[in-house]
Amino acid sequence: MISLHVNGKKKKVEVAPDTPLLWALRDNLGITSVKYTCGIAECGVCTVLIDDKAVRSCSISVDEAKKGRIITIEGLPEDHPVKIAWIEKQVPQCGYCQPGIMLQTVDFLKRQPNPTAEQVDDALDNVLCRCGSHPRIKKAVQMAADLSRK
């Protein structure tokens, strides 16, 4: 039994220590916003925050993750600037990749609170989205940055 700190609560999962965090979150805790796509940390769809840093949950074991505070999109407050901006800019089309992109954005804006358009492009370049919502994503990131500074 491994104890994880997920979205502000202690959760116990019965998995092998080398189990990817992705599977513990989805299969054991029922947190299906954390998606599986590539399994090799390339696409970013499985991104979660661990101690406020974006981490690909397919590439970190529960044994490694148990040391930190894990946040999925459900753990982000409803009034978080990124959630507000995503809704205001009507970002999602299919929605599959959005939780990962949103959490990547949270991490990015903590490190770069006043990003340029080029910095936004660079920050999100490693998160794949095939539904074509990138123009709205970029606008939402800038809006979230503005809201965060207020």
Q: Is the same domain home to 111 and 137?
A: yes
Q: Is the same domain home to 88 and 56?
A: no
Q: Is the same domain home to 55 and 103?
A: no
Q: Is the same domain home to 87 and 71?
A: no
**pLDDT tops 90 at residue 42:** no
* Average of per-residue pLDDT across 84-92: 94
Q: Determine what percent of the chain is predicted with pLDDT higher than 90.
A: 81
Q: Which residue has the higher pLDDT, 78 or 134?
A: 78
* Average of per-residue pLDDT across 36-54: 93
Among residues 75, 93, 128, the one where a domain terminates is 75
CATH code for the domain of 25: 3.10.20.30
Confidence of residue 118 (pLDDT cuts 50, 70, 90): very high
Domain count for the chain: 2
* Average of per-residue pLDDT across 47-61: 98
* Average of per-residue pLDDT across 17-33: 97
Among residues 44, 59, 75, the one where a domain terminates is 75
Q: Quick one: tokens of 37? A: 């796509």
Enclosing domain of residue 107: 81-149
Q: What is the pLDDT of residue 54?
A: 97
Q: Is the same domain home to 8 and 68?
A: yes
Give dist(CA 24, CA 19) in Å, integer.
7
The reported pTM is 0.93
Q: Is the same domain home to 17 and 46?
A: yes
